[in-house]
Structure 1
Amino acid sequence: MATVADGHHPFAFTFGILGNLVSTMVYLAPVPTFYRIYRKKSTEGFHSVPYLVAMFSSMLWLYYATLKKNAMLLITINSFGSFAEMIYIVIFVVYAPKDARKLTVKLFGIMNVGLFTSIIVVSHFLVSRAYRVPVLGWINVAISTSVFAAPLSIVAQVIRTRSVEFMPFRLSFFLTLSAVMWFAYGLFLKDICVAIPNVLGFVLGLLQMLLYAMYRNRKQVIIEDHEKKLPAATPDHVKNLVIIATLAASEVHPVEAQPNNRNDDGDVNNNAAITEANEHEQTDDHRHVENASVEIQPNETPSAV
């Protein structure tokens, strides 16, 4: 049972259960995104890389947990995570355009099949049984740390643009809470390989929430600044910017650039139209005065009612 397998310390089981619940919500966060993809039959500007990386990390932790004793709660959450990410990737491949589909399949083969298989082979045949779990654990630490560090790009983007449009608070909150639960789980289980990456995850999560509190009310100002600074931006440019910024996030939010109707030619044409209208108005007034003067006879005075 899980209470026995993870029960060296009673708090280890408690935080492991809480970690499973919170991490399940994090894994389910992209569901609206893929429902949108299914409904529109198009992946639009979404990329598959975050889901490939998440699946690769879950697969490694699952393999680590099967080799390590007393880690049943790591097995449960990473089994669910691997399954969920696989579903996301399949949906993406079904509705992705040809180039994106080829890239996704290629990356899946290189990372989730080739590299993962290589790690299994090396750990089994080139590492002795006594060091197998620690070596695999530190491999997971390195990969998890890089995954946690990836949101630094979105942090830089938020500071540069002063907009939190592409850094959802709810996702940042649950990622931070998840890091707390798994850090405590690793601490009470005395597994440093589980605890260390979540220290960085907790710090970065707090930083993201702090930035959200600072810049949450400045979205409209930033949009206006972007319209002035990037009048010729195309939708592809904006999508690439957003995707890079949200590389490690569970949700990717592409945006479409609004057409810029206020160009120089338009202003000139508008000014010319206004001038022409004014000239017509003045001409009509002049004609009205002339007609009035013709109607009044020299010896007649218009009477007031």
Structure 2
Amino acid sequence: MAIQHPLTLAFGLLGNIISFLVFLAPVPTFYTIYKRKTAEGFQALPYVIALLSSMLYIYYALLKEEFKADATFLITINSFGCVVETLYISLFLFYAPKKARISTLTLAFLLNVFGYGLMMLLTHFLATGELRLKIVGWICLVFSLSVFVAPLGVLRQVIRTKSVEFMPFPLSFFLTLGAVTWFFYGLLIKDYNIAFPNILGFLFGIAQMVLYIVYKNTKKVLEEQPKVQELSEHIIDVVKISSLVCPELSPVVLQPTLDITNDMIQAVQNIIVMAEKTEEAKEAMHIDASTKV
């Protein structure tokens, strides 16, 4: 297809570059999975859907080329997407718990093997020419929307746990930027199957970044609270033991106004010092009494 606007080539190249970064954005997430040796807490649904979307757009691009339409940008980036998403899913399956592994395999088979194969057969035998192209285009549109809707589960998890651990910011940022780029590319070539889904993609991307800003520091607070609680319980145990070992220290131990952190730590240090002095005094008295005897 002849270039209809001077910016078409620019947006096509920029869209490929940004989408390339989008596909690589989950690398830190999977590096975390690799270090933890477990995929527990992470979801494979966005990657399964993204793989299916890339497969569909390759099929759509090949159909466009039958009508002498330039679909090079779609073929290149979605071919890369198929490879990367397959690697992500494979890594997830390797480290996922048994239940998550079975559910992911079932989902991948139903969508990426059975569903995709059935779609190709039906569109090949039941539709021809431009009708087939339109049908596949609408299917691509629906699954593109699914790619942007899939992270809703992660958004719910972020709101519920008040933690952005499972929603990396680079993915949200590049997803939003890519949505803007592909929207203008689709608009310029008048392919609304490409342009329309990216409106929703832009909105979801903004929502993810807003949630990240809201909850990015909450995770640290939630992690520190159990540590403070654990420290206070440990200090209380030490205080109780100290009071049993050295009953003389009971008036010091039973102070109810001590702060959980610095005051209690200082109190325990004072108790230990006093306990040592008391033991030394006892030993001195014992030695002195023995000498007198």
- TM-score range, shorter-chain basis? 0.7 to 0.9
Which one is further off, 201-210 or 59-68? 201-210
Q: Kindly tell me: are residues 95 and 6 of structure 1, through their superposed partners in 2, closer, same or farther at Cα, counting changes over 3 Å?
A: farther
One-letter amino acid of the structure 2 residue matched with residue 141 of structure 1: L
3-state SS of 1:8 partner? coil
Bigger CA drift: 113-122 or 134-143?
A: 134-143
Q: Aligned pair in 2 of structure 1 residues 216, 184: CA closer, same or farther (>3 Å)?
A: same
Matched ranges for 1:71-82 at <5 A: 71-82=71-82
Higher helix share: 2
Q: Where do residues 9-48 of structure 1 align in structure 2 (5 Å cutoff)?
A: 9-34=5-30, 42-45=37-40, 46-48=42-44
Q: Is the contact made by 1:161 and 1:222 (CA closer than 8 Å) also made in structure 2?
A: no
> What is the identity, as a one-letter code, of the residue corresponding to 1:129?
G
Letter in 1 for 2:245: A
Cα distance in 2 for partners of 1:163, 1:34 equals 18
CA contact (8 A) 1:163 1:219 kept: yes
Aligned equivalent of 1:254: none
* Relative contact order, higher structure (CA 8 A, sep 6+): 1
TM-score normalised by L of structure 1: 0.70
CA shift, 1:261, in A, is 5.0
User: CA 1:112–1:161 in 2, change beyond 3 Å: closer, same or farther?
Assistant: closer
Q: Is the 8 A contact 1:6 1:71 kept in 2?
A: no
Contact 1:65 1:71 in 2 (8 A): yes
Match of 1:179 in 2: 179
For the residue of structure 1 that corresponds to 2:246, the secondary structure is helix
Q: Give per-residue Cα distances to partners, 1:245-289, cap 9 Å, x unaligned.
A: xxxxxxxxxxxxx9x95697x677544312123227467657756
Partner Cα separation in structure 1 for residue 290 and residue 88 of structure 2: 83
Using structure 2 for the length normalisation, give the TM-score.
Answer: 0.73
SS at match of 1:163: coil
Distance 1:37 1:155 in 2: 19
Residues of 2 paired with 1:194 and 1:25: CA distance?
19
Q: Distance in 1 between matches of 2:35 and 2:158?
A: 30
Measure, in 1, the Cα distance between the counterparts of 2:76 and 2:4: 18
1:215 Cα shift?
3.3
> Which residue number corresponds to residue 245 of structure 2?
277
Q: 1:37 to 1:20 in 2, by over 3 A?
A: same
Q: For structure 1, list consecutive stretches of 5 or more residues without a partner in the other structure.
A: 228-257, 297-305
Contact preservation (8 Å) 2:186, 2:195:
yes
Answer whether contact 2:183 2:199 (CA < 8 A) is retained.
Answer: yes
Letter in 2 for 1:60: L
Partner of residue 57, structure 1? 53
Instruction: Give the CA deviation at 1:210.
Output: 2.4
Tell me the residue number matched to 1:251: none
Give the 3-state SS of the residue equivalent to 2:49 in structure 1.
Answer: helix
User: Which 5+ residue runs of structure 2 have no aligned equivalent?
Assistant: 249-274
Structure 1 residues 94 and 291, CA gap change in structure 2 (3 angstroms)? closer
Q: Where do residues 130-279 of structure 1 align in structure 2 (5 Å cutoff)?
A: 130-224=130-224, 227=226, 269-279=237-247
